[in-house]
Amino acid sequence: MTSMLNYAHMMHNYSPANTEYKSPQMTPVSVVGARGYSGIELCKLLLKHPFVQLQNAFATGDFKLSDQVLDTKAATVQCFNDQELMQNLTDVVFLATPAEVSLKLAPQIIEQGKTVIDLSGAFRLKKNDYQKWYGFMHTAPDYAREADYGLLPFCGPIKPATRLISNPGCYASAVSLALIPLLQNDLIHTEGLVIDAKSGTTGAGKKASENLLFSEVTEECLPYRVGKHQHTPEIQEVIATVTGVEIEPHFTTSLLAAKRGIIAGVYANAKTTDIGEIENAYRKSFDGYPLVRHGRDVSRYARLANVVNTPFTHVSYELVGNKLYVFSCIDNLLKGAASQAVENLNRLLDLPAGYSLVQEV
């Protein structure tokens, strides 16, 4: 895709009050899976993006986006059955679909000269066995190998030939943002690493399921896929790619009696007893990136209420002797899906990562 704006120019000059930067053209985009939890959140964000025209929305069956999204511009979006996708392609297509669906659709869309941002896990793994972790044979391994893994702020600029961006998973985003600064600065031992992550029920999607009924979930915190969660190899791969460190953590996931939000606890033996070194590592890693807030105030930064319905990641930490406790909180539907997808769209458009997501970037 031809860049619409010069990234360095924007980063140097952009401010919320600065109105001189106007896109020479609007970028038309579509959302497939627009009736799911992540799809709805994505549509809301795209409707507010000044350089984007949300042109088409697709779902399984007839629907109106204006029935789902209370934004007057939603009525201007053309809504189609997903069987009509290939006849209504736009420059950029977001796939907020299950992994098996994305695996089928993405190559077809890319072959038509379009760019895909995929919110599923279909193209995240470069080395691991999809049959083992996702339960299906991968039919497009070349696309998985070439896909840009878009974990902000650690993924770098978009390459000119990029056709497919794989949006990171929700748990993988929270955990990786907590671990990468520590491993980049050689501050923790990898032996004995424990990750205990908990998510709201929207992380399981909108499909009806007995184990997600209110009476099954309320007043509970239910472990699931213990040691077998599909984000396990994703976390290992991105950590190895960014830091060069191989990890074999104890990783557990649990279902919270809440609609949305993730809190990931990371517990490690530190190579330092100075909390200042931990703080400096996060400061260095996230300097210039507006969507992470971090600090020692666990009571503030580890509260889901302070991060849900925002695109931010909150990272808090405490060091007791050499025992390090880190908590990473995100909204699973935003940083864990939709808002990070918009960050990746901004990369395509040579815009700052937080453009249209926060007032100050």
Give the pLDDT of residue 148: 98
Do 134 and 231 share a domain, yes or no? no
Distance CA 293, CA 109 (A): 37
Which among 258, 249, 242 is positioned nearest to 308, based on CA atoms? 258
Under 8 Å between Cβ of 297 and 361: no
What phi and psi values does residue 267 have, to the nearest 5 degrees?
A: -125, 125
Structural domain contains residue 202: yes
Regions in the chain scoring below 70 on pLDDT: 1-24, 203-217, 219, 359-361
User: Is the alpha carbon torsion for 103, 108, 113, 114 positive or negative?
Assistant: negative
Residues 6+ apart with CB under 8 A from 158: 148, 165, 347, 348
Assign residue 304 the CATH number of its domain.
3.30.360.10
**CATH number for the domain harbouring residue 33:** 3.40.50.720
Domain that holds residue 158: 7-167+337-348
Is 237 inside any structural domain? yes
Cα gap 230→100, rounded to integer Å: 14
Q: Which of 43, 79, 155, 170 is catalytic?
A: 170
Assess whether 123 and 229 both reside in one domain: no
Query: Which pLDDT value is given to residue 80?
Result: 96
- 139 and 241 part of one domain: no
| 289 and 181 in a common domain | yes
Predicted TM-score (pTM) of this structure: 0.90
Question: Looking at residue 204, what is its pLDDT?
Answer: 62
The per-residue pLDDT for 321 is: 97
* Euclidean distance between CA atoms 343 and 354, whole angstroms: 6
Total domains in the chain come to 2
Is 170 designated active site?
A: yes
Write the pLDDT tens digit of every residue in 21-36: 445 479 999 999 999 9
Amino acid residing at 200:
G
279 lies in the same domain as 261: yes
Distance from C-alpha of 16 to C-alpha of 133, rounded to nearest angstrom: 43
Say whether both 288 and 323 belong to one domain: yes
Is residue 2 situated within a structural domain? no
* Domain membership flag for residue 312: yes
Q: Are residues 222 and 343 in the same domain?
A: no
Q: In the block, which residue shows the tokens 């025209």?
A: 53
In this structure, the answer to whether residues 153 and 185 fall within a common structural domain is no
Q: Based on the fold, state whether residues 231 and 217 are members of the same structural domain.
A: yes
1 within some domain: no
Asked whether residue 55 is domain-assigned, the answer is yes
The pLDDT value given to residue 75? 95
Say if 359 falls within a structural domain: no
Q: Are residues 182 and 158 part of one domain?
A: no
Look at residue 14 in the predicted model and tell me its pLDDT.
34
- Please report whether residue 43 resides in a domain: yes
Q: How many CB atoms lie within 10 A of CB 253?
A: 24
Based on the fold, state whether residues 49 and 92 are members of the same structural domain.
yes
Is 46 in contact with 52 (CB distance < 8 Å)? yes
Same domain, 95 and 209: no
Alpha carbons 334 and 308: distance in angstroms, whole number: 8
